[in-house]
Structure formats: C-alpha cells, structure tokens
Structure 1
Amino acid sequence: MQRYNDLRILCTGMGWPSAQPGGLNTYFKHICESLDTQHELEALVCSANKPEVKSGLRVTNVAGTNLKLSKRRDAFRMQAAEIMNGQPVDIVYSHFAPYSLGVAMEAKARNIPVVMTFHGPWSEEIRLEGKGLKHRFKTMIAKSWEMKAYQLADAFIVLSETFRDILHHQYGVPLAKIHIIPGGADVGRFKPAANRSAIRTKLGLPEGKTVVLTLRRLVNRMGLLQLLEAWKEVVRSKPDAVLFIGGKGPLKTELESRIVEYGLQSSVRLLGYIPDSELADYYQAADLFVVPSQALEGFGLITVEAMAAGVPVMATPIGGNREILEKYRPDMLFAGTSSSDIASGLNRILKHPELWPTGEQCRNHVLEHYTWKRVSEQVNEVFHSVIDLDDRHAYVRNQSAAARKRGGREQDESSLSGSYR
C-alpha cells in the first residue's frame, strides 16, 4: 500500500492567476506548488495566455477561454484520458465542477479515486449575477453539471463550515465525505512593510491619511455598493480616511456613478486591476483592510493575505471571514451586511486605533493557522484516506472474486465426482 510521498497526482483547475486572477486560481496555484514538492504532479488549466509557472511545475493549458464551456469541458476530458492511458495516476484532484466532470468520468472508468475541492456553488453565483428566462436556464444547466460531477467524487475538501453546509444541504453530499481545510497565505511574500512610507510614495498613496483598502471583483455580491454607502457616514466623522478599491468587473460604471452621487471623489479611489506583482505593496501600504461580502464568501484568501502582511481586517460575518475572525478577533466583524452595519463598525474601529490588533498579532495568527504547508499536509491526509479506502475496497473485491472462483471449482469438482458414482 502506498503511503505519504510520491503519489502521481493529476490536478484540474479553472485557470492560472498570472492570466486569470481570482481566489480559486490563486488557491489552485499555491496548493499545486506545495503538493509538487512531495509528489509527482501534473496540472491542467484553461487559459487565454500561457500560464507563468514555477520552474519544474508541470502545467498544461488544455484550451483557450474563448471556446464554449462545453468544448473546454471536453478538452479537459480528452487531455486527462491521454495522461491516464500513458502513465499510472494515483489520484485525481479537481477544483472546478464544469472542467472536473469529464475528467472524473475517465478516472472512475479506471478505478482512480477522485477528490474535489468545493470552492462554492457555481450555479448560485451565476444566478445572483443575472435575470431573465435565458439566465435561469443557464443556471439550471450549471447546477446539472455540478450534480453530475459531485456524484463521482470519493471525498470533498471545503474551505469553511459555510461551504460544508452548502455542499451537504444543496447538493446532497454526505457529511462523512466532506473535510474542512481552510486556505492559506504565502507568508514569505506577504509580510509587514519595513518602510510603509516609502511604499506609499512608490504607489502614489497619500501620507498623513488613514488608508482603508479592499480588493474585490466588481460584482454585486462583493458588497462594494454597501461599502460606498457606508463610506458617506465614515468620512463625516473621520475626514482624513481614504478608501481604495482594487479590482475589475461589470459593476465599475455603477461604482463610479455612486462615488459622484455621494460626493466621495476626494475620499474614494477606484484603482482598477492591481497586477499580482504589486499586490504585496498595496497590502503593506494600507492601515486597514475591509471585506464587505454579501454572500458566498467561502474562505477569504485576501483576508489572511492582508493579515500576513500585518494589516488588521474588518469583514462582514459571511462564510469563511466569519470563521477566521470569530476565532481570533470577533470585534473586527461587522454586526451584519447592511451599509449601516458597515458604517457603524468602521466608525467604531477608526475612532479607536489603539484597540486594533497589532501587525505582529495579525501575522502570528496566520503563521499558526493559515500557511500553505499546513494546508498541503491536511490535503495529503485526505488523499491517503481515500487511497487507503480504495485499496481496502480493491482487497474486498479481489477476495470476493477469489472466493467465487474457488466456489466455482468446488462445484465443478462435485459435479465431476457425482458422474463417476
């Protein structure tokens, strides 16, 4: 029976953060890099550009993002089948249901165990961002693909209790199959600034101001409209505070309009997309990081990244952010998700910076609970529980087959003896 090192792992993700930023892709990159130090790993992604990967890590771009989703799904299946036919694979580790479906089907046809990380209800995310009959039909198709993929998994990894409950209640996955493993931060990269003033000057951020930062995809469920409405109240009591919003998305035009409508041009700046190479600088330049999510926040990688950089974080009590802060500093959680809850919480904290957790305290909490080394160790445990279980099932199947074979021989011998009597 294989043990803890040198598994042959086929990983399937959505994209790669160098070409397609986002929490899922960032998670996928880091867990692949961490697992690759212990195992033989190959990763499959879909990307518009060639992924920029760490030396020695095998990442194959199976299709461009311009293809129809069904074509991308089929490309993953064909590439996975080619790999499985060419070499042994011990386990398939999947991260995005639409791309996982065909790969999991090929794996199960070869008795290869499948572990899936559930990053959230994809169909529900689609439903929340549109309206109309065509959109409802699209949501139904997405849910169907998810259900088919999840039926093929031997075990699931989720990043929070919230997503465990969604996976169990909305998709019918037994609790015994679900393992909660929070995400991590790159603590070597995200760390407190040696000279924050120099970084602010480099980024063109103001000195003598309290800088509040958020990094979000500009869509409704991220809570940016609520944050802007709250900011009207914040600047009345804290006029030296400035809010910086990094990210891109379909909500940009509406955010720009609200900033003008609320008269916040001097205290709010939309930064646009922040390149990955500048991300650590922006964390280090901030006094406070805020996460105003309204729904479906499975973990919150940005929360632990900011804390690793020594920046206190305030967040709405949604999903993984609630779980991170509740066990650490519950006073850094907003009372709810409304703009009034956000305004009240920000005013309370900004008036009393002496009550904030220190940069050292923030970072130490991440070092203790949220490193990629810790994540990969726990993922390894899930892999081996599934492989061991698969080995036991194979043993039972082989024993049963042997017993049937022996029984058949005994019956044949009995029949033969009877013919000579």
Structure 2
Amino acid sequence: MAIRAHASQIDSLQIGMNWFDESPGGMERMVKALVQTLPAQGVSVRALVAASEKVRASTLGVVTPFATPDMPMLKRILALRRSALQLRSERMPDVVAAHFVLYAAPILRMFNGVPKVIHFHGPWSEEAARENEHMLRVRIYRALEDYTYRHGTRYIVLSNAYGKILTRYGVDERTIRIVPGCVDVARFDIGVDRRTARDTLNLPQDRPIVLCVRRLVSRMGIEDLIDAIASVRQSVTDVLLVIAGKGPLASALQARIEERGLTDHVRMAGFVSEESLPTWYRAANMSIVPTVALEGFGLTTIESLASGTPVLVTPVGGLPEAVAPLSPDLVLERSGAEALGAALTDALLGRIALPDHTSCIRYARSRFDLDVVAAQIADVYREAIDHAS
C-alpha cells in the first residue's frame, strides 16, 4: 500500500452506523475501510458505531461501540452522547467525518469549531419513501438530514449523480467533492479460474451464469431482471441467473420465478458470506446491476470488476460513472425488463465485446483500490481543515 508523506498527522473522528463484521452493508464497509487505510495517509482514526463490545477489542480500541444496534433508540442516543463526550475529553479531533445522520445529528454541536466532512451515502428519506416506510418516519429522516447537512465544511459523494441530489438539500455545490467507493482488490482477485470457482460452489460447468448481488428491495430492479430471463432463455436456452442477497422481497421473488416457469433458469442463493463472495463473482460469466432508482455508485460493480468479471449496469444514478470509462458497452440504454433482456442476450451471444479478466482487475485497481480512495478522502479532510483555519 502506498504511504504518502505529510507535514503533520491529523486526527479524525468517524461517526458510522454499525460495524461491518456484525452488520454488513455499504456504509459499514466504507467506514471499516477508512479505519484500516487512513492511517497510512497520515490520518489517525477513532470511530463511533453501534456494535457489540467485541468490536472494541478486535480494533484495539480504535472503534468505540457506544451501544448495540438493538438497544432502544433513546437509550442508544444517550449512550452515543456519553461516548462522544468521553472521546472529546480525551482529545478534540481535527476533523469530524459523519457517515450516518441519525448518529451524527445528536453530537455535532459537541464539536463546535471542528470542521465537519459529511460522507453522503444516499438520500435516506427518499430511500425510505420508496420502500413505503411510514410518512412520519420519512419526515423525521428528512429533518435529521437537513440538520446534519447544514453543518458540513466539505461533502464527499460517490458520484456526480449523488452530488446533484445533495444540492437539493441546499448544499453549495462548490463544497462537494466526488470520491468513488473503494474495494480491496487483493481480496477479490483470488487467482483461480472460472472452472475452479464453479467446482468450489457446486455450480454447473456447462451453462452461462449471470450473477446479481443485491439487497432484495424494490428499487434494486430484481423483478425486472427475473422477467428479463424469460426472454433471454429464448436465445440462450441454458442461461442461469443466480441472485445472491437477502431482503424483504425474497419470498415474493421466489414466487415470481415459479409463476413464470423459470425455476431451471433462476436460482436464489440467499445470503452469500464475505469469504465466498469473490468466488461467486469469479464463477460467473458476467454480473449485472439492474437498479431502477437511487443508486449512488453500486459497490457490487467494482467488486465484480476486482474479481475479473465484467458487469452490466442500468443507466441509473452513479452506475454509469463507475463502469463507462472501462467500456461504454457495459451501460444499458435504459432500465426495465426489455432492456435487460436485450443486453444480456447480446452479451451472452458475444454481440457485445466485454472487457476481459485482466482488464477488469487492472481498471479496478487503478481507480478503486483501498489506498487510491483513502488518499483522496484524506485530501478532502485536509482541505476542510485548511478552510476552517
């Protein structure tokens, strides 16, 4: 990992949500990556997350678990404030990095005078509204977002698309910096061929396999993808779609597969462990991200590329920004079952020239590897500190 020389070390306080090892998710993955990689960029790290006490020990005290995620909300917030006060009394940070507004909003004023960098992981209230959460909850989420985003010195977004969304909260676009998501390329580049990966997972060797790794919620477009396979199989009769992930739509999606007579062509793999995920990507001919709304970047895109497997994406949010520089052919013309079916058919029949294994990994390493992204984030932190001083 490249280590950059800096005139002085700076101290950051990261306000996350949960800890990745206990509650895997995109935001959690990013916070863990920053805890691990920022010190090499001259940025020391302390972090506040909702997690078990085991996390304090496993991170040698770097991460403070202020409460467990299942603790009642009021008790959780009170515990958060006590932990924040304790960390402040030990040492005032040079910069506060806020990732999750629910936990950032109650403590930001404890750090008056300290520059704040807001990591914008997505429009929480809009996502909740799309998932039909109660309107009162949506309004509370929006109020927390509005309050937190008023306190930023600089803002980090994953894509131009999310930068535009952030301006709808009244954030000055001149304070927004685009830093993409990151991936540990060394972990995903497992150095095995497709046949070996399929043997490991007991997958068929003689069928083209398309992999979709997604949380099973409506905005991910999984319903469209299942419907698309009905048309793909007309031209690629042995196609197999594997859907990996969990979520509230799991039962409905399985019923959809059965209703459309696709049980021989679509397999629900359920939750896939972090340890086996690179093998799943490597086993596939290609992966696909069929999102229909609110996609800031799509970490699964760069995970697939880091594994050497090309990925097709819908033209939603930041997805095109993640893959188009590698090949514009990876971006579909539009969302929906018809477009997904046409693109998959063309790719499987060789009518689209997909990037090869080596090109995918090289691209991921040059743009999204951990140290590459950590260096960019450290630069934004220093910019915020310089601006405040």
Aligned to 2:380: 382
Equivalent position to 2:340, from 333, 339, 342: 342
Displacement of 1:25 after TM fit?
Answer: 1.0
**8 Å CA contact 2:332, 2:339 repeated in 1:** yes
Q: Over residues 66-115 of structure 1, what are the superposed CA-to-partner deviations in whole Å (9 max), with x where a residue is unaligned?
A: 1344543343232112111122311111111111112212112xx11111
The CA distance in 2 between the partners of 1:53 and 1:265, in whole Å, is: 45
Q: Which moved more, 1:173-182 or 1:45-54?
A: 45-54
**8 Å CA contact 2:282, 2:307 repeated in 1:** yes
Higher Cα Rg: structure 1 or 2? 1
The CA distance in 1 between the partners of 2:56 and 2:99, in whole Å, is: 19
Q: Which amino acid aligns with 2:313?
A: A
Aligned to 2:82: 78
Task: Give the TM-score normalised by structure 2.
Answer: 0.94
Q: Which amino acid aligns with 1:158?
A: V
CA RMSD between the two structures: 1.8
Q: Which amino acid aligns with 2:345?
A: N
Aligned to 1:182: 180
**8 Å CA contact 1:297, 1:320 repeated in 2:** yes
Higher helix share: 1
In the TM superposition, what are the counterparts of 1:7-156 in structure 2 within 5 Å? 7-37=10-40, 38-47=42-51, 50-51=54-55, 56=60, 58-108=62-112, 111-130=113-132, 135-156=134-155
**8 Å CA contact 1:73, 1:101 repeated in 2:** no
Between the aligned residues of both structures, percent identity stands at 33
Displacement of 1:50 after TM fit?
Answer: 3.6
Displacement of 1:238 after TM fit?
Answer: 0.6
Structure ranking higher on relative contact order (CA contacts 8 Å, 6+ apart): 2
For structure 1, the residue ranges without an aligned partner over 5 or more in a row are 392-421
Displacement of 1:365 after TM fit?
Answer: 1.2
The CA distance in 1 between the partners of 2:74 and 2:39, in whole Å, is: 29
Distance change (3 Å), C-alpha of 1:274 and 1:102: same
**8 Å CA contact 1:12, 1:93 repeated in 2:** yes
Displacement of 1:129 after TM fit?
Answer: 0.6
Displacement of 1:259 after TM fit?
Answer: 0.6
Displacement of 1:192 after TM fit?
Answer: 5.4
**8 Å CA contact 1:13, 1:45 repeated in 2:** yes
Displacement of 1:4 after TM fit?
Answer: 5.2
The CA distance in 2 between the partners of 1:319 and 1:222, in whole Å, is: 12
Q: How many residues align?
A: 383
The CA distance in 2 between the partners of 1:158 and 1:139, in whole Å, is: 22
In the TM superposition, what are the counterparts of 1:12-411 in structure 2 within 5 Å? 12-37=15-40, 38-47=42-51, 50-51=54-55, 56=60, 58-108=62-112, 111-130=113-132, 135-169=134-168, 171-191=169-189, 193-352=191-350, 355-391=353-389
Task: Give the TM-score normalised by structure 1.
Answer: 0.87
Distance change (3 Å), C-alpha of 1:272 and 1:51: farther
Aligned to 2:9: 6
**8 Å CA contact 1:181, 1:379 repeated in 2:** yes
Q: Which amino acid aligns with 1:88?
A: M
Q: Which amino acid aligns with 1:231?
A: I
**8 Å CA contact 1:43, 1:60 repeated in 2:** yes
Displacement of 1:195 after TM fit?
Answer: 3.0
Q: Over residues 367-401 of structure 1, what are the superposed CA-to-partner deviations in whole Å (9 max), with x where a residue is unaligned?
A: 2211121111111111111111222xxxxxxxxxx
The CA distance in 1 between the partners of 2:220 and 2:379, in whole Å, is: 33
**8 Å CA contact 1:18, 1:276 repeated in 2:** no
